A = this chain, B = another copy of it.
């Protein structure tokens, strides 16, 4: 952090930045962080494979300017931990890249929320950088994890494999829609949007048993289609099998509701391929974690995504999920 720098707005700015870094020191207590006083963090690791990811969230793109800063911090960590979860990795630490806005209260609340999320997911903050910038907030986080024996790739699905999803989909999308409409929204749906919980423990349990896995950040349909494309296969998904939470079910369970849930994105469920021989073990594997699991389709030779609803073939919607530029 010593290289931290700011634009030329003078002493008030400097003091705001010092306050911010002092607040970060309060939550970066792992010895590997070296008190944020050194050029870099120093983290002991065992021999093996590291899983590394860096995801950004940007004001006005991934969150609304008036979203609570605590929740923005939570989400920044959660989206990165969800990537580790999809690779079955145990989180080891993270580094923050932060544009320091002029609103000191926002910055303080962000640090408070980040501290809560670090505690909740038991991952240390190791270091990072902050820069004073006028413009939309650009928040980046690098998460580092230790891989298990198998690190599922998107490219590993085989013809005949089942398509599965761990967790439910559509909750965050419903929560956001209800918030935008200004009406009352069930707490579970708002929490799914504001404070998603990455399936880290479930991901570790699954990693050794799956052929391919990814998290559902952009929408179940698009993320399933990406696994199929990366594996050189076709995939067929049964909307009737798409798992909805109890809170979501109260807003509808028909084809239209399930299609909305399967294209909503922001879910942080895990979507994966596994051989038919694993059906029995998978059916109960996630019970200890309280995470639901559902078999929702199948991979075959060919290419592209097919959609059914029980016995009916369903035309693909115009958008499969949250796409670049969409």
Chain A residues within CB distance 8 Å of chain B: 2-11, 13-14, 17-18, 34, 37-58, 60-62, 79, 83-84, 86-87, 89, 93, 95-97, 99, 126-136, 138, 140, 142, 144-145, 147, 151, 153-155, 214-215, 217-218, 223, 226, 230, 322-326
What 14 additional pairs, Cβ within 8 angstroms, besides A7-B325, A61-B133? A3-B79, A6-B61, A6-B325, A13-B325, A38-B214, A39-B86, A39-B154, A39-B214, A40-B53, A40-B87, A45-B50, A52-B95, A61-B131, A129-B140
Contact status of A53 and B41, CB under 8 A, knowing A2-B218, A83-B3, A217-B3: yes
Please report the C-alpha to C-alpha distance between residue A53 and residue B43 in the assembled complex, in whole angstroms: 11
Interface of A is mostly: mixed
Task: Name the one of B7, B93, B223 contacting A61, with C-beta atoms under 8 angstroms.
Answer: B7
- The copy count of this chain in the complex is 2
Contact B49 A324 (CB under 8 A): no
Chain B residues whose C-beta falls within 8 Å of the C-beta of A144 in the assembled complex: 50, 52, 144
The residue in A43, A140, A154 that gathers the most chain B C-beta atoms within 10 A of its C-beta is: A140
Contact A52 B126 (CB under 8 A): yes
Nearest B-chain residue to A34, judged by Cβ: B153
Contact status of A155 and B37, CB under 8 A, knowing A49-B43, A323-B14: yes
Contact A40 B89 (CB under 8 A): yes
Chain B residues whose C-beta falls within 8 Å of the C-beta of A55 in the assembled complex: 3, 129
- Can you list 11 residue pairs at the A/B interface with Cβ under 8 Å? A5-B218, A14-B323, A14-B324, A14-B326, A38-B230, A42-B51, A42-B52, A52-B95, A53-B127, A57-B131, A61-B133
Contact status of A133 and B138, CB under 8 A, knowing A83-B39, A214-B2: yes
Contact B127 A38 (CB under 8 A): no
Contact status of A43 and B47, CB under 8 A, knowing A79-B3, A132-B61: no
Contact B131 A5 (CB under 8 A): no
Please report the C-alpha to C-alpha distance between residue A71 and residue B1 in the assembled complex, in whole angstroms: 23
